[in-house]
Structure 1
Amino acid sequence: MKLGIQSLRAYNFFYFSLLSIFISFVPVYLTFRGVTPGEIGMMVGFGSFIGILSQPFWGMVSDKYKTIKRIILLTLGASILVGMTLFTTNHVSLLFLLVGAMYFFLLPTDPLTESLNYRVAQQHQISFGSIRTFGAIGYATASLIIGWTVDQLGMDRLSWLFLGYGLLAFVFALVVSDAPSSSKKLSRQELKQFFFYPKTLQFFLLVLIAATPHRTNDSFLGVFVQSLGGSTGDVGQAWFFAAISEVLFFALSARILQKWSEIKLITWATALYTIRYALCAMAPSAEWVVYLQLSQGVTFVIFYTATIQYLYRIIPEEWKATGQTILAVLFFGISGIIGSIAGGWVFQQWGGAALYMVMGILSLVACGYSLTLWRSQRTEEIQS
């Protein structure tokens, strides 16, 4: 048991380290290859669209063959091959296809990994966080190490770093214990009933508005830091600060959710998102933007954990699995498409400061909308 758990923790460390290379440094790499912000936005938007389709696809394959581990080995192995090709080419049309392929193979490995973590934790009666924390630590340390290495040795070393982290993740995935997938398949009628359930659409609209600037930041943080004169090492440091703050607030999130209502926390998180992006827009140097990423924990973690708990509270038990899936599609899929394509256009037309100001305005809209829902909830509680 102990060896299996330690292997799973090691796999999480190296897989999320690998994921940090793709999420944190692909925009920087594309800029290095001469791709414009508008083209980067189109690539990431196209990839996000593929991700909306690929995540359910690999989930269904996992369900059909009753295995998570073997599907992870398949998607991870393919990701290593595609990633090595991606980080060694400079043809824009080929880069477009390779980014899409990474969204088809590497990104769906994330929910499969989370499912494996959760089921193994249940099986051995240990906390999910005791496994998943190693992934967050891997993401944070890799962001720092990769940024420094590329800064010192050049962007061409990125392919070897990707290969190294990828092979280590694959080796540890080989020795972890498997767990059968058990996601529930709902009929079209059940899905229709779910969407017509009171409060559902209001809540999902709030998530979409708030998640769009967050996903825009994911796509353009590195490009923005470099546009202010920052180095690749500064980009890595920015992502390190963001990830390390997530570790802290994930550890505190359970206590925070016990003390305050979800909608109140969502309102405060969106307000802090507004301040964060406005300060980034006004930042006089790359260093300011780097240190502002320390607020990632209180914005993203509090918002995301509160939305999950709020969702579970407002919808019936039999629709919770569906709600979680749609929440993920909104937060990481549709908002990614909107944020990357529109964000790339704004960045190219008016620059990074203008983009971050628009992101701040969107967060302010989300804050106002969540405040409306908060007041509506309080009125219902008083009347009842």
Structure 2
Amino acid sequence: MGIEREGGWLAAFYFVYFCALGAFMPYWGPWLHAQGQTPLAIGILTAAVQFSKVLAPNLWGWLSHFWGSRRIVMLGTLLTAAGFLALEFSDGHFLVILLITLAFSFFWAATLPLVDAATMDWAQRRSAAYGRIRLWGSLGFIALSLGMGVFISNWGMRAFLPGILVFLVLAWWVSRHLPYGIPTHPSHQLRPRMSPVLQDAGLWFFLLAGLLEQASHGVYYAFYSIYAEAHGLSSSSVGMLWSFAVLCEVAFFWWGDRFIRRFGVPLVFTASFFLTALRWGVIAWWPGLLWIVLVQSLHAASYAAFHLAAVHWVSERFPGALRARGMALYASMVYGLGGGLGALAAGWSWAQWGGQLTFAGAGLVALLASVFLIKGLRGSPTLEKKTS
């Protein structure tokens, strides 16, 4: 398989995977509402999706040593699609929807960390840029977050599940062609051990920092649209702001590897945390149209720069056969636990103190995260040194 073709399959997977996610995230709550679910039930079902990312990626990352990443990614995408098909027959019953949600989330959480690990392996072998492959995911997210709105406007909420199902089936088909690297055969060689890198305190400071940084996004993902509309923006303007933020994310993914090479992971990492804090502070205290538009460009820092630096950092400390498990640990702690706790904390804080103080609090959380990040980056040895 040539380098262009391999990169094309990886880009295609990110695109269709994030098409499904872009259709899911903005319209999961409205679909549940259309099924007659109460606000409390919607909160529980949304949290179930997030918290499934805590344990599932670690389990699938461990199983990848035995089964191989290809088999797990194919299985995960196919069974996730089956879960969305099953939702068609849930008839609005909360417990049925909850069980199906836990099931499809468990399998959905298996796929992306393993593909991220495969992409980093491929990029290092081919001297290619991870960010220029990953940006296709952001483009897919934009395409379907906007496109699903068009579908729903024309056909109603009955377009929600089939629209996601199509892209999950495509993700399964594309996953058959991904370059997963050289498979390992446990019966013929020793599996590397995780214990040396898990003894590195810097790893846990990094994970705690990442958890807090992502937790600070909880108020943004849950309440930004409501907050912006409360300050005079129309629904269409809010949608354009979301799209603008992801376009800035795409731009950083395109050039981000150059930033990493020129300035290094620690500097890019640290800058992303401080700019995240600045982003939430501006939204809290200067919510006017001009500032709120300009600050959306900082999504390039709070998400794209953070994620790109994190993938490089994790890849350095979990080389070779351990990379899939390292990516799984990162995904579960940062996006699973951090995202879930952030969403719950944002809901509680919004009800107690309102939007301004909740966004201000998110800025303080991002600043606190930078303290742990600096401790994690300070002289953390690589895994190769520990196992040499």
TM-score in terms of structure 2 length: 0.76
Indicate the residue corresponding to 1:17 in structure 2.
Answer: 19
Secondary structure of the 2:211 match is: helix
Indicate if the aligned counterparts of 2:205 and 2:372 stay in contact, CA closer than 8 A. no
Gaps of 5+ in 2: 380-388
Please show how residues 317-356 of structure 1 align to structure 2 within 5 Å: 321=323, 324-356=327-359
Task: Summarize the Cα distance change of 1:198–1:79 in structure 2 as closer, same or farther, 3 Å threshold.
Answer: closer
Task: Summarize the Cα distance change of 1:310–1:65 in structure 2 as closer, same or farther, 3 Å threshold.
Answer: closer
Indicate the residue corresponding to 1:269 in structure 2.
Answer: 272
Secondary structure of the 1:154 match is: helix
Secondary structure of the 2:200 match is: coil
Indicate the residue corresponding to 1:381 in structure 2.
Answer: none
In structure 2, C-alpha distance between the alignment counterparts of 1:30 and 1:230, rounded to whole Å: 25
Indicate the residue corresponding to 2:160 in structure 1.
Answer: 158
Indicate if the aligned counterparts of 1:66 and 1:180 stay in contact, CA closer than 8 A. no
Indicate the residue corresponding to 1:113 in structure 2.
Answer: 115
Task: Summarize the Cα distance change of 1:43–1:282 in structure 2 as closer, same or farther, 3 Å threshold.
Answer: farther
Picking from 190, 207, 211, the partner of 1:208 is: 211
Please show how residues 130-149 of structure 1 align to structure 2 within 5 Å: 130-149=132-151
Secondary structure of the 1:45 match is: helix
Gaps of 5+ in 1: 378-384
Picking from 360, 364, 377, the partner of 2:363 is: 360
In structure 1, C-alpha distance between the alignment counterparts of 2:100 and 2:290, rounded to whole Å: 32
Amino acid at match of 1:273: T
Indicate if the aligned counterparts of 2:218 and 2:343 stay in contact, CA closer than 8 A. yes
In structure 1, C-alpha distance between the alignment counterparts of 2:362 and 2:251, rounded to whole Å: 25
Picking from 231, 242, 254, the partner of 2:245 is: 242
Indicate the residue corresponding to 1:254 in structure 2.
Answer: 257
Q: Provide the identity percentage.
A: 24
Structure 1 residues 115-124 or 223-232, which shifts more? 223-232
How far is 1:266 from its partner?
3.3
In structure 1, C-alpha distance between the alignment counterparts of 2:73 and 2:64, rounded to whole Å: 9
Instruction: Say whether residues 1:52 and 2:54 are aligned partners.
Output: yes
Task: Summarize the Cα distance change of 1:354–1:181 in structure 2 as closer, same or farther, 3 Å threshold.
Answer: farther
Task: Summarize the Cα distance change of 1:246–1:345 in structure 2 as closer, same or farther, 3 Å threshold.
Answer: same
How far is 1:248 from its partner?
0.9
Structure 1 residues 165-174 or 250-259, which shifts more? 165-174
Amino acid at match of 1:142: L
Give the aligned length: 371
How far is 1:104 from its partner?
0.6
TM-score in terms of structure 1 length: 0.76
Secondary structure of the 1:90 match is: coil
Indicate if the aligned counterparts of 2:53 and 2:331 stay in contact, CA closer than 8 A. no
How well do the aligned residues superpose, as a CA RMSD in angstroms?
A: 4.0
Task: Summarize the Cα distance change of 1:337–1:176 in structure 2 as closer, same or farther, 3 Å threshold.
Answer: closer
Task: Summarize the Cα distance change of 1:290–1:141 in structure 2 as closer, same or farther, 3 Å threshold.
Answer: farther
Instruction: Say whether residues 1:295 and 2:298 are aligned partners.
Output: yes
Secondary structure of the 2:92 match is: coil
CA-to-aligned-CA distance 1:206-263 (integer Å, 9 cap, x gap):
2222221135534555565677787876665444323222221122222223343544
